[in-house]
Amino acid sequence: MVLAFAARTLGAETPVEAALKALVIEAKELRLSLERTTLVTSRVYVTLQRVQVQQEEVTRLSRELEGLRDMITRMATQDADSNMRLPEGIPPEQRKMVEEEMKRGKARFEAEREANKAREADLASRLRTEQIKLSELHEKLDALDRILDPARARP
C-alpha cells in the first residue's frame, strides 16, 4: 500500500488511469475526425451543387453557340444563292430601283453576318471561361474526395 501511494505521488499512473486517459484521447480524436468529415461532406455537397449549375451554364452556352454557327452556315449558303443577276429586258428605271434595293439588302446581310461573327467569338470565349470554371470545380471535388478517402490519395 505504501508502494502504491509512493508511486502515485511520484506521478506514475495505474493501469486503469492509463486506459482511461487513452480512451479520452481516442474520444477526442474521433470527435475531431467526425467534425472534419462533416465539414468536408458539407463542402462536397455545396461543390456538387455548384458543378450542376456550372454544367447547365456550359450546356446552355454550347447549344447557343451551336445554333449560332448553324445560322452562320445557313447565311453563307443564302449569300451564295443570292448572287443572281437581273434578267435582261427590265426597264432602266426599274432596274436601277431593284439594284439599289439589292445593294441595301446585301449591306444589311453583311452587317448581320458581321454581328453574328462577333457574337460567335463572344460566345466561344464565354464558353471557354465557363468550361475552365467547371474544370476547376471538378478538381476541387477530386481534392475533397482525396480528403475523405486518404487511401486513394496515395499513388
pLDDT score of 9? 53
Domain that holds residue 137: 2-153
C-alpha cell at 138: 471538378
The pTM (predicted TM-score) of the whole model is 0.67
Q: Is the four-CA dihedral 64, 69, 74, 79 of positive or negative sign?
A: positive
pLDDT in tens, the chain (155 residues): 444 444 455 567 899 999 999 999 999 999 998 998 889 889 999 999 999 999 999 999 999 999 999 999 988 887 766 666 767 778 888 888 888 888 888 899 889 999 999 999 999 999 999 999 999 999 999 999 888 877 655 55
Q: How far is CA 42 from CA 5, 46, 74, 133, in A?
A: 51, 6, 48, 20
pLDDT score of 95? 80
Our count of domains for the chain comes to 1
CA neighbor of 144 nearest in space, from 51, 16, 65:
51
